[in-house]
């Protein structure tokens, strides 16, 4: 990762001129963005502090959203590679090595390859995206992510005309992800997917930060997907592979429980989960007496995304 102190950089990396050059380019890119300030150091720009809080704003909703408290978002997570509960990934995920990190881009694409995270970040414009986030378990929050549109990455690698879907895969680190030994709920690695037009939609982002900081490990560092109009399980964490494919990928949750979780997983108050209603949601951080929020079609992003599904029966393609 780009975010490190001098102490954590192995000597082998410091002496590698290619890595040196990459990091220098990244710092230059960040300087150009005006990202300077507290917290983030690179060994090659020790005088340069990076402040994620200066990241420009991306998509703006019609009505401003106020973010859920960062404490809640960082300590109430779903990360099944570590644990089935919502609290322990905060500590368990800290052992995950995320530096260096690269992403393999492969399949129906003009420019396949293994891309360094530094390059992915430096070649795209980081912006802040304040999005509603709605889990299929009927809780919700509002998160100020920092990232860039997936479309801007895909345009650079040039999907072939045969590419119809995008498949994403999470890191499968048996040593550092303790729950990978449990295969009762999900098969590993965690796999997700989008139709190509969904992947190219400007609301779909790859996130590298949140709340003006680098992304915490428990929230999917160093790189995760965020698709705000779909249930949270589509927003796959710790991505190591992006594959352009011809057919709809068999995604982890659909595979494990096809009647409960569809491929599309668009937020829809009128299509209940077989065991619970999706018509309302518990807003994390709201007071005990605050009523549940009415869930909106496409999580409130219908104006932006409904046209993607105009010819589809949303009960059939749930």
Least distance between ligand MTE and beta carbon 141 (Å): 7
Our finding on whether 101 is near ligand MTE (CB under 6 A) is no
Site string for Mo ion, 180-219 (x = CB under 5 A): ----------------------------------------
Contacts of 308 (CB under 8 A, 6+ apart): 195, 197, 198, 201
Q: Does 309 bind ligand MTE (CB under 6 A)?
A: no
Find the binder of Mo ion among 233, 253, 261, 301 (CB under 5 A).
Answer: 233
Binding segment for ligand MTE (CB under 6 A), chosen from 71-79, 124-132, 153-161, 199-207, is 71-79
Binds 211, which of ligand MTE, Mo ion, none (CB < 5 to 8 A, cut-off by type)?
none
219 near ligand MTE, judged by CB under 6 A? yes
Q: Any residues with CB less than 8 A from the CB of 14 and at least 6 apart, and which?
A: 20, 43
Count of residues engaged in binding ligand MTE, rule: CB under 6 A: 16
Q: Is the dihedral of CA 302, 210, 89, 226 positive or negative?
A: positive
Residue 235 interacts with which of ligand MTE, Mo ion, none, CB < 5 to 8 Å by class: ligand MTE
Do the Cβ atoms of 30 and 50 come closer than 8 Å? yes
Question: With CB cut-offs between 5 and 8 Å by kind, which of Mo ion, ligand MTE, none does residue 237 bind?
Answer: ligand MTE
As beta bridge partners, residue 142 has 132
Among all chains, which residue has been given the structure tokens 């396949």? 112
CA distances from 210 to 28, 142, 169, 235, 275 (A): 21, 11, 21, 14, 32
Q: Convert residues 169-198 into a mask of x (bound to ligand MTE by CB under 6 A) and - (unbound).
A: -x-------------------x--------
Q: Which stretch binds ligand MTE (CB under 6 A): 74-82, 105-113, 153-161, 199-207?
A: 74-82
Report the DSSP beta bridge partners of residue 283: 140
Which DSSP letter does residue 124 get?
Answer: S
Query: Smaller CB distance to ligand MTE: residue 49 or 213?
Result: 213
Pick 235 or 268: Cβ nearer ligand MTE: 235
What's the rounded Cα separation, in Å, for the pair 199 and 201? 6
User: Please, which residue, 52 or 231, has the CB nearer to Mo ion?
Assistant: 231
Partner whose footprint covers residue 251, from Mo ion, ligand MTE, none (CB < 5 to 8 Å by kind): none
User: Residue 133: which of 306, 282, 299, 287 has the closest Cα?
Assistant: 299
Contacts of 204 (CB under 8 A, 6+ apart): 149, 150, 151, 194, 198, 225, 226, 227
CA 185 to chain centre: 21
- For CA atoms 138, 139, 142, 144, give the dihedral sign: negative
What residues contact residue 271 under an 8 Å CB cut-off, 6+ apart? Answer: 278, 314, 315, 318
237, 268, 271, 309: which one binds ligand MTE (CB under 6 A)? 237
| Of positions 93, 109, 135, 154, contacts Mo ion by CB under 5 A | 135
Task: Please answer whether residues 85 and 178 qualify as being in contact, where contact means their C-beta atoms are separated by less than 8 angstroms.
Answer: no
Cα first-last separation, the chain:
36
Q: In the window 136-175, what residues touch ligand MTE (CB under 6 A)?
A: 170
Q: Taking CB under 5 A as the rule, which mask of x and - marks residues 53-92 in contact with Mo ion? A: -------------------------x--------------
Q: Is 103 in the site for Mo ion (CB under 5 A)?
A: no
> Which residues bind to Mo ion, rule: CB under 5 A?
78, 135, 232-233
> Which residues bind to ligand MTE, rule: CB under 6 A?
77-81, 135, 170, 190, 219-220, 232-233, 235-238
């Amino acid at each position: 990762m780009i975010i490190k102190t001098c102490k954590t950089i192995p000597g082998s990396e410091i002496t590698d001129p290619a890595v040196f050059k990459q990091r220098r380019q990244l710092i230059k890119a960040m300087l150009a963005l005006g990202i300077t300030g507290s917290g983030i150091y690179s060994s090659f720009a020790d005088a340069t502090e990076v402040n994620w809080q200066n990241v420009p704003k991306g998509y703006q909703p019609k009505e401003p959203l106020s973010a859920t408290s960062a404490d809640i978002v960082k300590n109430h997570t779903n990360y099944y590679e570590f644990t089935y509960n919502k609290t322990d990934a905060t500590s368990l995920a800290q052992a995950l090595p995320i530096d260096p990190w690269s992403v393999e881009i492969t399949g129906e694409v003009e420019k396949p390859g293994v891309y360094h995270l530094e390059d992915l970040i430096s070649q795209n414009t980081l912006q802040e995206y304040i999005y509603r986030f709605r889990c299929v378990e009927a809780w919700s929050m509002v998160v100020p992510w920092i990232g860039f549109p997936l479309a801007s990455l895909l345009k650079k690698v040039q999907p072939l005309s045969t590419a119809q879907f995008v498949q994403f895969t999470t890191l499968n680190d048996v040593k550092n992800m303790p729950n990978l030994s449990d295969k009762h709920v999900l098969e590993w690695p965690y796999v997700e997917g989008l139709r190509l037009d969904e992947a190219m939609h400007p609301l779909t982002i790859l996130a590298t930060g949140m709340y003006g900081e680098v992304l915490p490990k428990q929230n999917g560092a160093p790189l995760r997907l965020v698709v705000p109009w779909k249930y949270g399980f589509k927003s796959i964490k710790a991505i190591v592979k992006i594959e352009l494919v011809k057919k709809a990928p068999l995604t982890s949750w659909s595979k494990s429980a096809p009647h409960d979780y569809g491929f599309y997983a668009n937020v829809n108050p009128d299509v209940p989960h077989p065991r619970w209603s999706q018509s309302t949601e518990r807003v994390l951080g709201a007071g005990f007496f605050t009523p549940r929020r009415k869930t909106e079609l496409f999580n409130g992003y219908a104006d932006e995304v409904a046209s993607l599904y105009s010819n589809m029966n949303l009960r059939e393609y749930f």
